[in-house]
Every structure is written in C-alpha cells, then in structure tokens.
Amino acid sequence: MRTITPPTATKSAAERHAGADIPRRVLRSEEREAWVIVLYMGGATVGEIADALSAGRDWVRHCVIGAGLACRRGARQIDALAILREVRKSGTLSLKEAAARLGYSEETVRQSISALAMSESVRRLMRLRRRAARRVAVANAGTDIGAAPVRMIGTRRTPAVRVA
C-alpha cells in the first residue's frame, strides 16, 4: 500500500526534499494537473492528492473529471469486522473514537454497524460504558464523604420561601 505524505513543519527543507516523490518547487498549473492525473491513476484518493499538492479537494476533483477519468466513489474497502472489534474494545466510549482509530468517518462506522444488524446492541453497550465512565469520574473526583454536611435526623428543615 502506498502512502503520500504532505511535508510537515518539523522537518528541515533538506529532509523534505530527500525522500520526496513530488517536486517541492512552485509548480505551474499544467504541471500540477499532470501530477493530479498521475497520482490518481496510481491509486491515490482525491484527499491524498489534495494533501500532497496542498490544493483543494474540489480543484483535484475537477482536474480528474476534466481529464476524463472515472471517479472512484466508495472504492475503499471497509472492514466491518475490524470496526466491530474496535467498538467492542474495553476503552471505547463512542463511535467517534472507534472511527478515529480506524481512519474511517463516524458515519461509515455507524452504517457498517447498522449493516451488521448490531446497532441496537452497540448503542446499549456505548451507553453503559459512558454511564460507568461517569460513575468512575465522580468516584475519583476526590470529594471526601465525611466532609459533606449531614443534618441530624430529628431536626426539621426550614421551609423554602418562593420569591416572585
């Protein structure tokens, strides 16, 4: 599997140019369009190309369509079992977390779980885990139970007065 990585700010200019597969000089419009076509035909996605060339996704998409290439929608293989495994991990509290760890969108994770007919049970599982996490957070808050004010059993409360 190929990876196309955009330059990062932490690398020096010499390091960025050393392993780069895309020239890092200012490209003319024709050269950028040629790179888009070459990378797209090589299997890169529109998002990867846009990141690598520091361009917008719409511009890359227009270049691909203008070149007469067929758009690949949904060409990415989604591993529903990996999604289910990630959701069932003990630390997962939301579908958003699972999606971020797998590199999918939250909607893709939600649709995959729905396609497996597991949406109701996963929803219950997430709700129970969030409730348990809240209980743990409250228990670890550090409030001393002895420090809470306790009213004697035989004393009466003062009635609340409503002010309009």
Residue with tokens 């390091």: 15
User: What's the angle, vertex CA 89, arms to CA 112 and CA 101, rounded to 5?
Assistant: 65
**Gap between the Cα atoms of 122 and 132, Å rounded:** 15
Is the pLDDT score of 40 beyond 70?
yes
Residue 86 confidence class, pLDDT cut points 50, 70, 90: very high
Residue 109 class from Cβ within 10 Å (0-12 exposed, 13-18 middle, 19+ buried)? buried
> What pLDDT is recorded for position 9?
45
Q: Which of 70, 40, 43 is nearest to 55 (CA)?
A: 40
User: Quick one: 61 and 87 in the same domain?
Assistant: no
**Gap between the Cα atoms of 109 and 130, Å rounded:** 18
The answer to whether residue 21 sits within a structural domain is yes
Taking the CA atoms of the chain, what radius of gyration do you get in angstroms? Answer: 27
Is the pLDDT score of 35 beyond 70?
yes
Q: Which of 84, 105, 83 is nearest to 96 (CA)?
A: 105
Residue with tokens 């699972």: 98
The more confident residue out of 112 and 5 is 112
User: Quick one: 84 and 136 in the same domain?
Assistant: yes
The total number of structural domains in the chain stands at 2
User: Quick one: 88 and 60 in the same domain?
Assistant: no
The answer to whether residue 155 sits within a structural domain is no
Q: Which domain holds residue 25?
A: 13-66
Is the pTM here over 0.75, yes or no? no
Check which CATH number belongs to the domain holding 20 and give it: 1.10.10
Query: In this structure, what token pair is assigned to residue 79?
Result: 């591993």
User: Quick one: 58 and 85 in the same domain?
Assistant: no
